[in-house]
Amino acid sequence: MVAILRCKWCSYRPHLSCNHNTRGFLLRVDLAKPKRIPTIAQERALERAMAARQTFGACGRRFYICLSKKLGCCLECFDGTPVDPSSYAASTASASHRLTA
């Protein structure tokens, strides 16, 4: 750790410790460890989790973004708004296997 960025109130009182959520730490990049490479099982688990967030059961389309859970379905199923075909992956797999990777 190189330095601690403190909030304005605590910068006037150096003898007190700053424990506010505005505090930040400056770290040295040259001492950072490289990112750990995930295993195949971890990548599969992440892919399944993303597939669950991006696929809607009513139409079975998997979108490239995570859509709102407030609606519970895609816009086309909700109110008939046409969906751009480039915004989702065309599903050629069976209903039990919709992973894109």
Report the DSSP beta bridge partners of residue 55: 62
- pLDDT digits 0-9 by tens, 15-61: 566 666 767 778 888 888 888 999 999 999 999 998 888 887 777 78
Longest CA span, the chain:
65
What pLDDT is stored for residue 41 in this prediction?
A: 95
What pLDDT is stored for residue 77 in this prediction?
A: 78
Cβ atoms within 10 A of the Cβ of 79, count?
8
What CA–CA distance (Å, rounded) separates 32 from 36? 12
Average pLDDT over residues 6-12: 70
